[in-house]
């Protein structure tokens, strides 16, 4: 199928270009530094909390206190990194992007959008794979379970997929990379924390913001729970973002 | 489903207009280019040339008017492999990809595969003197070399309709010569539309010229027609030595477009 072939070829080129650029290095640094610090912080917090619990004759569940907490926080890093990979996707050449080049090729809107989506999601998957290293070590030391880790990373990939699609939709509307990054971060932050406003809202509005909120869904995945509603929500958001991404006037 | 009409003009524009906010970029432009014709588009900066070329190539939508490239809408023609070759104004390349990566990607999008793709890449790269630059990152190329690489992308696969926006801007004389040679080697059936400020280059490469001013097409014709319509004024006779239409084009250029 030409659409899949073209999108894949474009995704490979964009993936390579992203990792050759400063944004790729920055995303890697943010991911590894923040991910490492939060993992370290979780280990330290767990150790102290466990000592206190032991004094009271209890043992804390390492899966919950160490693994799930760290995995849930990785979602926040995904949110910080996504705008870096999508901000220039549809910017003109003068603004550091290469939309003009893409338009000079016989590519359809779907191929251009899917190509960028594939590149961004591939980059995110690579970052997640690298950040899985401490968890793999913990796993080797008998902390956590492979199922928990796999479900949590599935959740993070679904989350990243939705974030990337939203980022592409925003980038296609703003064109200016910096504005695209800020707007993407703003929208994702609101969606992430929308549930926090629920107690202050009327029933219907509270249910709506809770339904839209990313936070509880990520937490469920990080507890090893696959909820069909959560998967459906992230897939719908991805489809909506990709549908709204209009990189040029057709 | 739209299908290409072999006998239709390569390009047909009828009453095309486009504005950006309150700025009118194009007003009621009508133009026809036959298959195999080599045409030029000239005009002062801000006349609307690049906007018109973007509309023709399907990168911008007109506010009103009709456009057909061999019977197809620009959006459809743009995505037909091997139909359209476009050099945008800024010769855009992805700074983080090499020249060879650009060419391979372009070849794959144009439906060229395997040995055929490699041979075509080699042909175009050799024609534009890029053989030693293939492994270089586009972001590290000089302005002229970048334009040559962007030209190579436009010419790859000898598209049936070539749209070139200021192709020799930033090229040294040797680069300009290589470009002219490549245009001369195009199949007779290939249609060409070039926007440029370099009139002598256009006399060599094109047979028809279109003048755009403030978004309107103010004159369109072959160089011979222009000669007849605009006989040289006193002091301009020498310009005729540059070839048919040269004096008249210079007249239109300065008298009509710039009002001097």
Residue A173 has pLDDT above 90, yes or no: no
B100 has a chain A CB within 8 A of its CB: no
Instruction: Tell me, yes or no, whether A250 lies in a domain.
Output: no
CB neighbours of B159 closer than 8 A, spacing ≥ 6?
B82, B83, B84, B85, B110, B190
Distance from CA of A209 to the nearest CA of B (A): 37
Q: What is the mean pLDDT of residues A205-211?
A: 82
Instruction: Tell me, yes or no, whether A137 lies in a domain.
Output: yes
Residue B229 has pLDDT above 80, yes or no: no
Name the residue of chain A whose CA is nearest to B79's CA: A106
B218 has a chain A CB within 8 A of its CB: no
Domain extent at residue A213 = 2-244
Which one of B61, B78, B90 has the shortest CB-CB distance to A106?
A: B78
Instruction: State the first-to-last Cα distance of chain B, in angstroms, to the nearest integer.
Output: 50
Residues of B in contact with A94 (CB under 8 A): 90
Any idea what DSSP says for residue B256? I
Q: Is the Cβ–Cβ distance between B45 and A70 less than 8 Å?
A: no
Residue B237 has pLDDT above 70, yes or no: no
More confident residue, A164 or B200: A164
Instruction: Tell me, yes or no, whether A249 lies in a domain.
Output: no
**Which strand (E) or helix (H) includes residue B17?**
strand B11-20
Where residue A174 falls among pLDDT bands split at 50, 70, 90?
confident
Distance CA B228, CA B67 (A): 30
Collect all residues from A whose CB is shorter than 8 A from any CB in B: 5-6, 9-10, 13, 16-18, 20-21, 92-94, 98, 100-101, 103-108, 248-250
Which one of A10, A18, A248 has the shortest CB-CB distance to B59?
A: A248
Residue among B75, B92, B147 with most chain A CBs within 10 A, to mutate: B92
Strand order in the sheet with B216-222: B84-87, B161-165, B191-195, B38-42, B208-213, B216-222
| pTM for the whole structure | 0.86
Torsion over CA of B34, B36, B38 and B41, rounded to 10 degrees? 40
Tally of domains in chain A: 1
Q: How many CB atoms lie within 10 A of CB B123?
A: 16
Instruction: Tell me, yes or no, whether A148 lies in a domain.
Output: yes
Distance from CA of B80 to the nearest CA of A (A): 6
Q: How many CA atoms lie within 13 A of B54 on its CB side?
A: 23
Closest to B189 in 3D by CA, of B64, B84, B34 = B34
Distance CA A243, CA A236 (A): 10
Distance from CA of A176 to the nearest CA of B (A): 17
* Alpha helix segments (H runs only) across A21-108: 22-55, 62, 69-86, 99-103
Instruction: Tell me, yes or no, whether A170 lies in a domain.
Output: yes
Residue B115 has pLDDT above 80, yes or no: yes
pLDDT digits (tens, 9 = 90+) for B185-202: 998 889 999 998 887 788
B103 has a chain A CB within 8 A of its CB: no
Residues of B in contact with A13 (CB under 8 A): 94, 97, 101, 105
Q: How many CA atoms lie within 13 A of A28 on its CB side?
A: 11
pLDDT digits (tens, 9 = 90+) for A53-98: 888 888 888 777 777 888 888 888 899 888 888 888 888 777 777 8
* Alpha helix segments (H runs only) across chain B: 49-56, 74-78, 99-109, 114-127, 143-155, 173-184, 199-205, 223-229, 246-251
Where residue A160 falls among pLDDT bands split at 50, 70, 90?
very high
Q: Is B85 helix (H, G, I), strand (E, B) or coil?
A: strand
Distance CA B97, CA B230 (A): 49
Q: How high is the pLDDT of residue B3?
A: 60
């Amino acid at each position: 199928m030409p659409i899949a072939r073209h999108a894949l070829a474009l995704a490979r080129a964009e993936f390579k270009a992203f990792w050759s650029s400063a944004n790729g290095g920055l995303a890697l640094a943010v991911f590894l530094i923040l991910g490492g610090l939060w993992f370290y912080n979780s280990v330290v917090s767990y150790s102290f909390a466990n000592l206190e619990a032991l004094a009271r004759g209890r043992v804390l569940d390492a899966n919950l206190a160490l693994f799930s907490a760290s995995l849930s926080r990785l979602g926040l890093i995904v949110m910080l990194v996504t705008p870096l990979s999508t901000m220039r996707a549809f910017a003109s050449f003068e603004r550091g992007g290469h939309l003009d080049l893409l338009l000079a090729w016989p590519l359809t809107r779907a191929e251009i959008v899917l190509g960028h989506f594939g590149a961004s999601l591939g980059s995110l998957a690579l970052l997640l794979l690298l950040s899985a290293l401490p968890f793999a070590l913990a796993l080797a030391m008998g902390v956590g379970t492979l199922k928990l880790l796999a479900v949590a990373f599935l959740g993070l990939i679904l989350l990243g997929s939705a974030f990337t699609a939203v980022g592409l939709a925003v980038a296609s509307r703003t064109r200016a990379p910096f504005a695209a990054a800020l707007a993407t971060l703003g929208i994702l932050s609101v969606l992430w924390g929308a549930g926090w406003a629920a107690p202050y809202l009327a029933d219907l509005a509270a249910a709506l913001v809770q339904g839209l909120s990313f936070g509880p869904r990520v937490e469920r995945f990080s507890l090893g729970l696959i909820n069909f509603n959560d998967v459906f929500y992230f897939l719908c958001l991805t489809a909506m973002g990709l549908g709204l991404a209009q990189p040029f006037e057709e | 489903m739209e299908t290409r009409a072999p006998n239709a003009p390569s390009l047909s524009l009828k009453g095309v207009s486009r504005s950006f906010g309150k700025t009118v970029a194009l007003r009621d432009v009508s133009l026809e280019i036959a298959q195999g014709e080599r045409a030029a588009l000239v005009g002062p900066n801000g006349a609307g040339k690049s906007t018109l070329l973007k509309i023709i190539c399907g990168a911008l939508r007109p506010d009103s008017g009709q456009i057909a490239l061999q019977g197809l809408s620009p959006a459809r023609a743009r995505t037909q492999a091997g139909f359209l070759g476009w050099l945008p104004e800024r010769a855009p390349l992805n700074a983080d990809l090499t020249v060879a990566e650009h060419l391979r990607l372009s070849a794959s999008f144009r439906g060229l595969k395997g040995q055929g793709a490699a041979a075509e890449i080699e042909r175009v790269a050799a024609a534009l003197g890029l053989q030693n630059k293939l492994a270089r990152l586009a972001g590290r190329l000089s302005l002229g070399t970048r334009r040559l690489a962007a030209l190579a992308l436009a010419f790859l696969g000898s598209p049936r309709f070539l749209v070139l926006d200021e192709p020799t801007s930033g090229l040294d004389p040797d680069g300009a010569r290589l470009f002219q040679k490549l245009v001369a080697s195009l199949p007779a059936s290939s249609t060409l539309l070039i926007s440029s400020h370099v009139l002598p280059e256009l006399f060599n490469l094109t047979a028809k010229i279109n003048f755009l001013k403030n978004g309107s097409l103010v004159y369109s014709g072959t160089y011979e027609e222009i000669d007849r319509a605009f006989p040289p004024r006193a002091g301009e006779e020498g310009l005729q030595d540059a070839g048919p239409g040269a004096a008249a084009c210079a007249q239109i250029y300065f008298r009509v477009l710039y009002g001097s």
